[in-house]
């Protein structure tokens, strides 16, 4: 009996000692994104995840699906396969889309830029399908491109059935995957020229003038917010992938499965407040800074400046001492001509001691074409004559 009482007393002491830490952990988790089924906070430049809650849980993303749609649109614009002033004729299929729409009519023509506004600001399902059909020939082919891009980005918990986010079986993603897609979309900086619009007009001055109002109300109330995409269906509930900047930090916050718009916005605000309140960014290199010069004797020009894809930023907690960071450059082994501006040429890696804390792609700052025979002859002659290379 004495031994039993001693054992019971010991267990009571242990439980009393451990309980406060468990409560603190629960309180800490509950104070951030408490009304979301899943959530994540990621810093865009460093790619670091600062907070997550069930971030790999597969859920319907609703209209946040359009982040991938917008990414493919921006890539086509960058490749000049699509131009902002190009007019697209609206198909019967695109005009038939339900849900959020800009009320396109079959046979109507609208510019790519206005359709892009319709997607980014008003979450137009009809505008999304119209652009998808223009890019890939059909909605089905565009969805194949969406899923291939998800695979290219290493996303293992995402599958799309349409470019809109309208309810469909086997259409899902995760908070983590949405953050990665958003990070890739934000590489195309012009996208925030559209996602940060609070209101605008389509068909201005015409009988069928349409007032665009951003579905993300935090654009107007949260400092530094410039996008990106809301979502809602009965099954998905209220979702939002948000982007906001402050100093050298660029945060991406994702919330999925909130019951009410207010709860969704509170969850996003709590994530962003946590990130900006607890962390600070240290910019080591700007995105236009030349970090390496590559020489190619068969190219014109024969010297190519390499720049980082985005600002090279590392994060630290505000109460931590600044570390001594080491930066190293790794170049791709094989480089074939011609080279396009923005082509991936290598990596810039940042280490804190033995720990890798950031890795950013190195890109070509300008195009390089194959030198013609005359240019190669001139270089050979100048080299043989001992003249300076050019």
Q: Which two tokens stand for residue 353?
A: 């001691």
Q: How far is CA 185 from CA 3, 180, 188, 219, 296, in A?
A: 65, 9, 6, 18, 31
Tell me whether residue 322 is exposed, middle or buried, using C-beta atoms within 10 angstroms of its C-beta: 0 to 12, 13 to 18, 19 or more.
exposed
Catalytic residue among 66, 149, 237, 310: 66
- Asked if 66 is an active-site residue, the reply is yes
Minimal CA–CA distance to 135: which of 182, 191, 71, 218?
Answer: 71
Distance, in Å, from the CA atom of 312 to the CA atom of 105, rounded to the nearest integer, reads 45
Distance, in Å, from the CA atom of 110 to the CA atom of 97, rounded to the nearest integer, reads 16
Tell me how many helices (H) and strands (E) the chain has.
11, 18
Q: Show the beta-strand stretches assigned E in 45-113.
A: 49-53, 87-89, 109-111
Q: How far is CA 315 from CA 26, 247, 274, 285, in A?
A: 25, 12, 14, 13
Minimal CA–CA distance to 335: which of 387, 389, 299?
Answer: 299
Cβ-contact 248, 287 below 8 angstroms: no
Catalytic residue among 123, 128, 173, 270: 123
Minimal CA–CA distance to 232: which of 54, 65, 52?
Answer: 65
| Angle between helices 66-78 and 112-120 in degrees, nearest 10 | 150
How close are the terminal C-alpha atoms of the chain, in Å?
Answer: 94
Minimal CA–CA distance to 94: which of 122, 132, 62, 65?
Answer: 132
Catalytic residue among 38, 63, 173, 358: 63
Contacts of 14 (CB under 8 A, 6+ apart): none
Catalytic residue ranges: 63, 66, 123
């Amino acid at each position: 009996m004495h031994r039993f009482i001693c054992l019971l007393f010991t267990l009571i002491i242990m439980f009393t000692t451990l309980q406060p830490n468990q409560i603190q952990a629960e309180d800490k988790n509950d104070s951030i994104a408490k009304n979301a089924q899943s959530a994540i906070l990621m810093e865009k430049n460093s790619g670091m995840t600062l907070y997550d809650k069930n971030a790999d849980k597969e859920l319907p993303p609703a209209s946040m699906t359009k982040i991938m749609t917008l990414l493919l649109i921006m890539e086509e614009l960058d490749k000049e396969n699509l131009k902002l002033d190009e007019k697209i004729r609206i198909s019967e299929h695109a005009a038939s889309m339900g849900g959020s729409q800009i009320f396109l009519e079959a046979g109507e023509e609208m510019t790519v830029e206005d359709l892009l506004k319709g997607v980014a600001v008003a979450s137009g399902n009809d505008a999304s399908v119209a652009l998808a059909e223009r890019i890939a020939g059909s909605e089905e082919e565009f969805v194949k491109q969406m899923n291939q891009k998800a695979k290219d980005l290493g996303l293992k918990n995402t599958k799309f059935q349409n470019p809109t986010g309208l309810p469909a079986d086997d259409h899902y993603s995760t908070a983590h995957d949405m953050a990665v897609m958003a990070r890739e979309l934000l590489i195309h900086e012009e996208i925030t020229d559209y996602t940060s619009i609070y209101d605008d007009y389509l068909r201005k001055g015409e009988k069928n003038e349409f007032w665009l109002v951003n579905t993300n109300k935090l654009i107007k109330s949260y400092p530094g917010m410039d996008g990106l995409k809301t979502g809602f269906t009965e099954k998905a509930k209220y979702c939002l992938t948000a982007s906001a900047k402050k100093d050298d930090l660029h945060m991406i916050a994702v919330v999925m499965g909130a019951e009410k718009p207010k709860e969704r916005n509170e969850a996003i605000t709590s994530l962003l407040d946590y990130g900006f309140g607890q962390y600070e960014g240290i910019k080591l290199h700007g995105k236009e800074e030349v970090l390496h010069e590559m020489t190619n004797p068969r190219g014109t020009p024969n010297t190519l400046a390499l720049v980082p894809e985005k600002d090279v930023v590392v994060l630290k907690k505000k109460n931590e001492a600044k570390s001594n960071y080491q930066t190293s450059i790794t170049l791709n082994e094989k480089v074939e001509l011609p080279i396009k501006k923005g082509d991936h040429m290598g990596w810039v890696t940042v280490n804190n001691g033995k720990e890798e804390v950031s890795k950013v792609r190195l890109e070509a700052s300008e195009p390089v074409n194959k030198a013609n025979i005359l240019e190669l002859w001139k270089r050979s002659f100048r080299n043989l004559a001992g003249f300076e290379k050019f």
